[in-house]
Amino acid sequence: MIYRIRLTNFEGPLDLLLYFIKRDKLNIYDIPIARITHEFLEYVRLMKMLNLEVVGDFLVTASMLLQIKARMLLPKPESEETEEEDPRTELVHRLLEYKRYKEAAEALAERHQQYRYYLYRSIPDPTPAQMVEPVYKNASLLDLLTALKRVLEKAENAASESNVHTVELPPVSVEAQAEFLLNEVKRHGEITFQQLVEGMERLVIIATFLALLELIKHQMVGVRQAAVFDDIIVYEP
């Protein structure tokens, strides 16, 4: 059975590129295109594996990155006197424009948070539905995917170092892992994603991650980070 996850507030491909630039403290005007393209494609493969309904835009951007990479690898004709435009120029312009809109949106969101409890004459009191906190707090879906990528790599490394080969995997479902996740969060109050999936097989880790996305979407658990790019902490809201 295919388990499809639909995420309405998933960050777009430009946000993923900005995530890489911010995380690795790269110069946005001098992007290491080969390195960025390789990591971008890894995230696209991860999203396709999870069957997230957001892959389309990411594939378009991936093809653009591959085209830029190919243009940069091609030798430049020696006869050309005019200096050729950097193939990354259009991408840089897009990123800078997206970054401006993103920062403006964040500033407006922050102002909204500051004034949300101010009540003015003739305006009714906020309803509970209007007072709901943002679902993902300060841990974005990109942070969640990074955490998943990290634990999958650790599980693969552990499997390659072990001499034991598992022939059959135990049956696992997203629903069962959601119940397991809720029980663990209630028992500990808060727990890292790394601790939740410690010792699990690859398929079980993926099912647990999908269960986490569903629980977050229904606001049954919350996620946050102690610091930027740190491990994901799952807690009871």
- How far is it, in rounded angstroms, from Cα 86 to Cα 154? 38
CA distances from 66 to 13, 46, 63, 77, 235 (A): 14, 18, 5, 21, 39
How far, in whole angstroms, is CA 15 from its chain's centroid?
Answer: 9
The band of 110, judged by pLDDT with boundaries at 50, 70 and 90, is: confident
User: Can you tell me which residue has the tokens 């424009």?
Assistant: 97
The band of 52, judged by pLDDT with boundaries at 50, 70 and 90, is: confident
Is a pLDDT exceeding 80 seen at residue 146? Answer: yes
115 and 21 belong to one structural domain: yes
DSSP percent split of the chain into helix, strand, coil, nearest 5: 55, 5, 40
> Which residues constitute the domain of residue 22?
1-74+86-132
34 and 123 belong to one structural domain: yes
152 and 193 belong to one structural domain: yes
Q: What's the pLDDT score for residue 28?
A: 92
Question: Is residue 79 situated within a structural domain?
Answer: no
- Residue 30 and residue 77 in contact, taking contact as beta carbons nearer than 8 Å: no
Section 134-161 average pLDDT: 74
68 and 115 belong to one structural domain: yes
99 and 50 belong to one structural domain: yes
- How far is it, in rounded angstroms, from Cα 49 to Cα 236? 28
177 and 91 belong to one structural domain: no
29 and 143 belong to one structural domain: no
15 and 110 belong to one structural domain: yes
145 and 121 belong to one structural domain: no
21 and 63 belong to one structural domain: yes
**How many domains does the chain fold into?**
2
The band of 118, judged by pLDDT with boundaries at 50, 70 and 90, is: low
For the question of whether the overall pTM of this predicted structure is more than 0.85, the answer is: no
Question: Is residue 158 situated within a structural domain?
Answer: yes
Is a pLDDT exceeding 70 seen at residue 23? Answer: yes
8 and 123 belong to one structural domain: yes
126 and 210 belong to one structural domain: no
Question: Is residue 81 situated within a structural domain?
Answer: no
